[in-house]
Amino acid sequence: MDQWHKSACILCACNCGIEVLTEDRLFKRIRGDKDHVGSAGYTCNKALRLDHYQNASDRLTTPLRRNANGEFEEISWDVAITEIAERLKAVRDAHGGESIFFYGGGGQGNHLGGAYSVALLRGLGAWYRSNALAQEKTGEFWVDAQLHRGHTAPDFEHAEVSVFVGKNPWQSHGFPRARVVLKEIARDPARSLIVIDPVRTETADLADIHLQVKPGTDAWCLAAVLATIVQEDLVDHAFLAEHTTDSTEVLDHLKQVNVAEFAQRCGVSEELIVKTARRIGTAGSVSILEDLGVQQAPHSTLSSYLNKLLWALTGNFAKQGAVNVHSWLVPIARHDVRRDRRTPVTNTPMFANLVPCNVIPDEILTDHPKRFRAMIVESANPVHSLADSPRMREALQALDLVVVIDVAMTETARLADYVLPAASQFEKWEATFFNLEFPRNTFHLRPPVLDPLPGTLAEAEIYARLIRELGLVTAEDLAPLHEAETREAFAQAMMGALSGKLAALAPFVLYETLGPKLPNGARSAAVIWLAAHKCAMTYPEAVKRAGHADGEALFEAILNSPSGVTLTLDEYADAWRYVGTEDNRIHLAIPNLLDEMRTLASAQVWTSDEFPFVLSAGERRSFTANTIMRDPTWRRRDTRGALRISPQDAEALGLHDEGTALVTTTRGSVTAAIEINDRMQPGHVSLPNGLGLDYDNKLTGTAPNELTDSRWRDPIAGTPWHKHVPAKIERLTA
């Protein structure tokens, strides 16, 4: 019988609430959930096409094992679990648990399973891991750690001035109800929208000021705006004196910047730079958000630093309409500046305790005794989504064991030794830990919309079966928890367990003991019990203001709120309490980044006569998404995933719409369809994200990471320069 089910979109970090009308196993209709605590009925066009994810033809329904002939054969779950456990144990015993590497664990909305992977890895003595954040956000996370040891949330709903740096929220969102908020800002004459982007994006169309920088020159533009603020004394000196350290050193650096030269370098008029600086420096409130346009481009970590200095030097912190350090349910972005964790082979710094994605092949393709020997990949497709796909394929083929847990036969799964079929995100209890808002932070535990496809298991159950098979926890270990008759008694027993050997396996312990007692089959939600209690202990007043007496009450509210729940209700003074530095001040000077800023005065060019174009590999468009949307028929427009090129460049090369071109970089060549688009500057071309997937033995569009180079990366964070790949474009057909 037709029925509406509450759930959430899984295509970006906003995870807007949706309602799904099902007919048998089909998603007959999808609409925004007006009751949702975060999105309040809002959703973009992409969520309405999620049936193409749920009912794709390449869903997996049985475990697969690669045989001696290199072909896959179907095996039972019992055989798969037994053999994988034995092979993981063999790798651990021969080379140590640290030789087992984990990639993924979540995607955009699939986080509960990833929480249980922690127990398996710790039980094996493994702790090296990575995910998509390590090719996107770790440079920003590291800058945050140096400045204030937190993570900031912008308040665009109330900001007088909103600034987007390398960010097109009309397509990539990044904050709740993005398109609604952008329209509200654009309609209000008292407010201003400022965009720094080489492309005339849909957000730039709405902007009061568009600083259309030359590709890869964001650092010069940001430094010029900051220097103008300092040189015209638009700085909030009272804020700096009361709340920051080392401001004099930063201000002295910016006083030396030649604004005219930097404006010329980034291709923006000095007049527009000055206008921007004055608007920011005189506003009552400013919110700023950066994204992959600068985080995957030259000087990416420096750009993150300069971007944050914009709000810091103007005092736009801990107030309405500004940026604020927020509370968490589960922190995803902490970096302990006191610990210098590095990868075992290349000795690369691991910001946020994540192995930088671009060095993963280097940690495998070596004879180093500490190299990675086994890899577990969950809900991710690194062969397609990480830089330098040819080298990533080579790395996976060099491992002793590759286990992939996914809903579909991905490009990565095709190289695995074992492929384990997971239930989809709409067939199990799920959640996302992207709880990044202030002052009202929310969380949405999603009940299943459908029963699991026969033959599939939720990731939590897969990890639990492996832990049981490995014998990492005994029945005797769990007996006190099983014997607890009340939630209060269970809490006391669990606190005791966390002080002993079971602490590292806490998610599994909860899954085995509390999980079966949860209503409506919500066993996977057991790990949230511990998170709720930690949240209540960390932010007691904010949790109470949100209406929860304690951690137990918060957990019950999460379980019983199908449209999500407000976790914490912060006050602006809380933003200062969440600053994690010892002196509770923002530490403005980051010496190596100030040194890097000095180098901007010298000429830096990354293109050449051989590769004269700048390719942005992985542009977000109205019909592109992450690679869980494998069925190409979901796209109503831009079905070819065309290479966008300026009219001037198209004319010079003899290209026309519907024609094709050969795109070549240092790593290889691909054929791409052509779209002539006046949003692009001369010399700048782009390919969309999410295409080039093998679906039903047919490729649609171009896989951008066939062109990217794992060595082309930020020297500090190791993040790739996907948005600035030197390329050559040649006509194939007109």
Give the rounded percent of residues in the chain with a pLDDT score beyond 70.
99
pLDDT tens readout for residues 236-266:
999 999 999 999 999 999 999 999 999 999 9
The strand pairing partners of 688, in sequence order, are 619
Residue 312 confidence (pLDDT) = 98
| Total length of the chain | 734
Cα 644-646-650 angle, rounded to 5 deg: 95
Greatest mean pLDDT range, 206-210, 334-338, 601-605: 206-210
Residue 382 confidence (pLDDT) = 97
CB 465 within 8 A of CB 46: no
Query: pLDDT category, 533, cuts 50, 70, 90?
Result: very high
pLDDT tens readout for residues 370-405:
999 999 999 999 999 999 999 999 999 999 999 999
Calpha distance 36→29 (Å, rounded): 18
Regarding beta strands 660-665 and 684-688, do their DSSP bridges make them parallel or antiparallel, or are they unpaired?
unpaired
CB burial of residue 478 (10 Å; 0-12, 13-18, 19+)? middle
Calpha distance 509→122 (Å, rounded): 13
Calpha distance 6→445 (Å, rounded): 10
CB 400 within 8 A of CB 374: yes
Calpha distance 413→58 (Å, rounded): 12
CB burial of residue 523 (10 Å; 0-12, 13-18, 19+)? buried
CB burial of residue 397 (10 Å; 0-12, 13-18, 19+)? exposed
CB 645 within 8 A of CB 729: yes
Query: pLDDT category, 734, cuts 50, 70, 90?
Result: confident
Question: Across the chain, what does the average pLDDT equal?
Answer: 96
Residues 138-326+584-598: name the CATH superfamily: Dimethylsulfoxide Reductase, domain 2 (3.40.228.10)
Which H, E and C letters describe 490-542, residue by residue?
HHHHHHHHHCCHHHHHHHHHHHHHCHHHCHHHCHHHHHHHHHHHHHHHHCHHH
> What is Dmax (Cα atoms) for the chain?
77
- The mean per-residue pLDDT over the stretch 50-70 comes to 96
Return the axis-axis angle of helices 77-95 and 111-124, rounded to nearest 10°.
Answer: 50
pLDDT at 680 over 60: yes
Look up tokens 């720094």; give the residue.
196
- The mean per-residue pLDDT over the stretch 711-718 comes to 96
Q: What is the pTM of this model?
A: 0.96
Query: pLDDT category, 2, cuts 50, 70, 90?
Result: low
The structure tokens listed for 551 are 């951690």
Query: pLDDT category, 332, cuts 50, 70, 90?
Result: confident
Residue 626 confidence (pLDDT) = 85
- The mean per-residue pLDDT over the stretch 55-84 comes to 97
Residue 227 C-beta-side C-alpha neighbours within 13 Å: 21
Residue 108 confidence (pLDDT) = 64
Q: Nearest-CA neighbor of 711 among 394, 301, 387?
A: 387
- Going from N- to C-terminal start, the domains of the chain cover 3-54, 64-127+373-432+440-569, 138-326+584-598, 605-733
Residue 71: count of CB within 10 angstroms of its CB? 9
Calpha distance 601→259 (Å, rounded): 11
Residue 159 confidence (pLDDT) = 98
pLDDT at 1 over 70: no
Residue 564 confidence (pLDDT) = 98
pLDDT at 333 over 90: no
pLDDT tens readout for residues 616-658:
999 999 999 888 999 999 999 999 999 999 999 999 999 999 8
| Cα-to-chain-centroid distance, residue 65 | 31
Residue 319 C-beta-side C-alpha neighbours within 13 Å: 13
CB 368 within 8 A of CB 398: no
pLDDT at 567 over 80: yes
The strand pairing partners of 686, in sequence order, are 616, 644
Residue 501 confidence (pLDDT) = 87
- For the chain, report the end-to-end CA distance as a whole number of angstroms: 53
pLDDT at 141 over 60: yes
Residue 150 confidence (pLDDT) = 94
Residue 89 confidence (pLDDT) = 98
Give the CATH number of domain 64-127+373-432+440-569; options: 3.40.50.2000, 3.40.50.300, 3.20.20.100, 3.40.50.740.
3.40.50.740
Query: pLDDT category, 204, cuts 50, 70, 90?
Result: very high
Give the CATH number of domain 605-733; options: 1.10.579.10, 2.40.40.20, 3.40.50.1820, 3.60.120.10.
2.40.40.20
Calpha distance 450→455 (Å, rounded): 14
Regarding beta strands 565-569 and 693-695, do their DSSP bridges make them parallel or antiparallel, or are they unpaired?
unpaired
pLDDT tens readout for residues 443-461:
999 999 999 999 999 999 9
Q: How far is CA 647 from CA 70, 585, 652, 676, in A?
A: 48, 50, 9, 6
Give, for 113, the enclosing helix (H) or strand (E).
Answer: helix 111-124
pLDDT at 230 over 60: yes
The structure tokens listed for 515 are 């999980």
| Cα-to-chain-centroid distance, residue 362 | 22
Q: Is 521 left (phi over 0), alpha (psi -120 to 50) or beta?
A: left
Q: Nearest-CA neighbor of 485 among 517, 519, 525?
A: 517
Provide the CATH number for the domain formed by 3-54 in this structure: 3.30.200.210
